[in-house]
Chain A
């Protein structure tokens, strides 16, 4: 089990950030992803495997400033 934005989510072997985003149906255009507090840059999402028990934050950013 992992935590995604404070909610529990089932972990599986080989779960990458890209797969998690697809599973969660996150469709936001711009996201920042942190695993256990550390930012993972977007180009690394397809290869980054999420460890069991990880605390994942998927942060949605909107234009305007």
Chain B
């Protein structure tokens, strides 16, 4: 049987789906956070995802990132695009294999309605947040801070600072013995994705009721 877009989204609320189908979301980083956020947003129906990551899939990524063993060695952004197409083929997925800097953020993500910060290193997170908030003080950016380890679901939360939202436990720095693991990284990634849907749908409803 031929897979159709209508059948894929048969159980989605119509105005929620309409809001997401016309949305463009940027995903900066395609590691444990970014690959998981992207898959969730694709399945939810976001119409266009822009994924940028300079890195390639390594064996040690497979414990938590949405790649398969045969994708080791491939650029993450391209491997993720393939996985997104396989999961939900009705959206547009743009993959960029490059390192994000303050100088190319606008070229990479200028079309995005919302940006997901999904970097690993705190320095890169700060760089992206500073640059995005300066370029687009009215567009949302959703980051993550504190995702390592396991357990303590109750410590995970979302904090808002104007157009910046952060998800995580705000305390678990990566260090020896506290590795990132699939469940906790996945929860935080899906908190980011869930919030992205909320912001996109709310913005759509406000525009259409205005």
In the complex, A25 has a CB within 8 A of chain B: no
Residues B143-158 near A (CB distance < 8 A): 143-148
Name the contact of A32 in the complex, choosing from B31, B119, B121, B129 (C-beta under 8 A): B129
In the complex, A19 has a CB within 8 A of chain B: no
B131, chain A: closest CB distance, angstroms: 8
Task: Please determine whether A39 and B130 come into contact, CB atoms closer than 8 angstroms.
Answer: yes
Task: Please determine whether A61 and B32 come into contact, CB atoms closer than 8 angstroms.
Answer: no
Chain A residues near B18: list those with CB within 8 A. none
A54, chain B: closest CB distance, angstroms: 14
Known: A30-B125, A37-B137. 6 other contacts (CB 8 A): A29-B122, A30-B126, A60-B145, A61-B125, A64-B146, A65-B147
Name the contact of A41 in the complex, choosing from B31, B134, B145, B180 (C-beta under 8 A): B134
B194, chain A: closest CB distance, angstroms: 17
Alpha-carbon gap, A30 to B122, bound state (A): 6
Task: Please determine whether B133 and A65 come into contact, CB atoms closer than 8 angstroms.
Answer: no
With contact pairs A34-B161, A41-B134 given, residues A62 and B170 touching in the complex (Cβ less than 8 Å): yes
| Residues of chain B whose beta carbon lies under 8 Å from any beta carbon of chain A | 29, 31-34, 118-123, 125-126, 129-130, 133-134, 137, 143-148, 161-162, 164, 166, 168, 170-174, 180, 185
Residue of B nearest to A28 (CB): B122
Chain A residues near B162: list those with CB within 8 A. 34, 37, 57
| Residues of chain A whose beta carbon lies under 8 Å from any beta carbon of chain B | 29-32, 34, 37-39, 41-42, 57, 59-65
Task: Please determine whether A38 and B129 come into contact, CB atoms closer than 8 angstroms.
Answer: no
Chain B residues near A32: list those with CB within 8 A. 126, 129-130, 133, 164
Alpha-carbon gap, A29 to B122, bound state (A): 8
Task: Please determine whether B122 and A38 come into contact, CB atoms closer than 8 angstroms.
Answer: no
Task: Please determine whether A39 and B129 come into contact, CB atoms closer than 8 angstroms.
Answer: yes
Task: Please determine whether B133 and A39 come into contact, CB atoms closer than 8 angstroms.
Answer: yes
Chain B residues near A60: list those with CB within 8 A. 145, 170
Task: Please determine whether B161 and A57 come into contact, CB atoms closer than 8 angstroms.
Answer: yes
Chain B residues near A62: list those with CB within 8 A. 122, 145-146, 168, 170-174
Name the contact of B122 in the complex, choosing from A34, A42, A57, A63 (C-beta under 8 A): A63
Alpha-carbon gap, A27 to B171, bound state (A): 13
Alpha-carbon gap, A34 to B180, bound state (A): 29
Name the contact of B34 in the complex, choosing from A41, A61, A64, A65 (C-beta under 8 A): A65
